């Protein structure tokens, strides 16, 4: 059982890409993210085709999503600067919602060895990459709206004694963002795998509502929310 679990947790190579003589192994995490990206791009193009002043059905869905994201970012960052950060934060939350809940779209029966859609955020490299991107946006926000001098001065606030802690902040924030997302998704993923092994008939239908859907969407929201809080801190 432990071996089966480890096999499900670890990324495995799907194929090896040959790029100018370099052999690049492509894992199932990357392939899953490609699938998510393709679905998101197709949805975005499909929902925003032929925009009109009086929205039709498809445009209504797109407007609800965009307004929901805009309102959340406006609440967190404030009415002055939100426009610069809403596109990035919206992309992150949409990608994370798809990435965290992708295992419920596992409709193609692949058997034990076949390709399965599993959440790519169960690997710490993916979440750490997203967290580093977020902290880059935070640093960009500080430099863009306060200038390099103002950003450097913000390290010595409120008193110069706080300097080491303010520097550490930029290391701890991405680490905590990455570990929170990774731990939550991996934990939920392991619990679901154990349920599939123990009670494969009836229980997964209900428990997957909590562990896959609710937990995944909540963690995507928390990731985006914390990033916007950090950005608004950097803008103060």
Q: 15 - beta bridge partners? A: 26
Total number of residues that touch other proteins (CB under 8 A)? 17
Q: CB of residue 56 vs other proteins: minimum separation in angstroms?
A: 31
Looking only at Cα atoms, what is the longest distance across the chain? 62
Sole window of 46-54, 146-154, 180-188, 195-203 interacting with other proteins (rule: CB under 8 A): 180-188
Nearest partner of 5 among 140, 192, 178, 179, judged by Cα: 192
The answer to whether 144 contacts other proteins (rule: CB under 8 A) is no
143 binds other proteins (CB under 8 A): no
- Measured distance between the N- and C-terminal CA atoms of the chain, rounded to whole angstroms: 51
In the block, tokens 């495995």 appear at 12
Check residue 97 and give left, alpha or beta (phi > 0: left; psi -120 to 50: alpha): alpha
Tokens 């967290």 locate to 131
* Closer by beta carbon to other proteins, 208 or else 228: 228
Conformation bin of residue 116: beta by default, left when phi > 0, alpha when psi is -120 to 50: beta
Report, in Å, the least distance between residue 72 CB and other proteins: 9
Is residue 182 within the footprint of other proteins (CB under 8 A)?
Answer: yes
Alpha-carbon distance of 34 to 154, in angstroms, equals 39
Asked if 121 touches other proteins (CB under 8 A), the answer is: no
Q: Which stretch binds other proteins (CB under 8 A): 46-54, 87-95, 101-109, 183-191?
A: 183-191
Given 186, 195, 207, 217, the residue binding other proteins (CB under 8 A): 186
- In the complex, least distance from residue 181 CB atom to other proteins, rounded to whole angstroms: 9
For the bound state, the minimum distance from the C-beta of residue 118 to other proteins, rounded and expressed in Å, comes to 16
Check: CB of residue 141 under 8 Å from CB of residue 71. no
- For the segment 7-66, give every residue that binds other proteins (CB under 8 A): 9
Closest distance of CB 183 from other proteins, Å: 4
The strand pair at 13-19 and 22-27 is best described as antiparallel
Q: Which of 64, 105, 176, 198 binds other proteins (CB under 8 A)?
A: 176
Torsion of the alpha carbons at 34, 221, 55 and 50, rounded to the nearest 10: -20
Region near other proteins per CB under 8 A, out of 50-58, 151-159, 197-205, 224-232:
224-232
Residues 61-80 touching other proteins, rule: CB under 8 A, are: 75
Residue matched to tokens 């924030």 = 173
Residues that bind other proteins (CB under 8 A): 6, 9, 75, 176, 179-180, 182-184, 186-187, 190, 221-222, 225-226, 229
């Amino acid at each position: 059982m432990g071996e089966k679990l480890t096999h499900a947790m670890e990324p495995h190579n799907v194929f090896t890409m040959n790029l100018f003589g370099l052999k690049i192994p492509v894992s199932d995490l990357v392939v899953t993210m490609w699938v998510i990206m393709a679905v998101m791009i197709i949805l975005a193009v499909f929902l925003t085709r032929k925009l009109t002043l009086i929205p039709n059905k498809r445009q209504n869905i797109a407007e609800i999503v965009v307004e929901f994201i805009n309102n959340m970012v406006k609440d967190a960052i404030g009415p002055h600067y939100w426009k610069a950060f809403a596109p990035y934060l919206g992309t992150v939350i949409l990608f994370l919602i798809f990435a965290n809940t992708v295992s419920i779209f596992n409709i193609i029966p692949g058997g034990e060895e076949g390709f399965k859609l599993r959440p790519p955020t169960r690997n710490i490299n993916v979440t750490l990459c997203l967290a580093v991107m977020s902290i880059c946006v935070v640093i960009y926000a500080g430099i863009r709206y306060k200038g390099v001098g103002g950003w450097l001065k913000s390290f010595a606030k409120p008193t110069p004694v706080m300097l080491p802690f303010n520097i550490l902040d930029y290391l701890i924030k991405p680490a905590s963002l990455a570990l929170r997302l990774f731990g939550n998704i991996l934990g939920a993923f392991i619990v679901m795998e154990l349920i599939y092994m123990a009670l494969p008939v009836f229980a997964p239908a209900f428990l997957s509502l909590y562990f896959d859907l609710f937990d995944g969407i909540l963690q995507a929201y928390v990731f985006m929310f914390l990033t916007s809080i950090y950005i608004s801190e950097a803008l103060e």
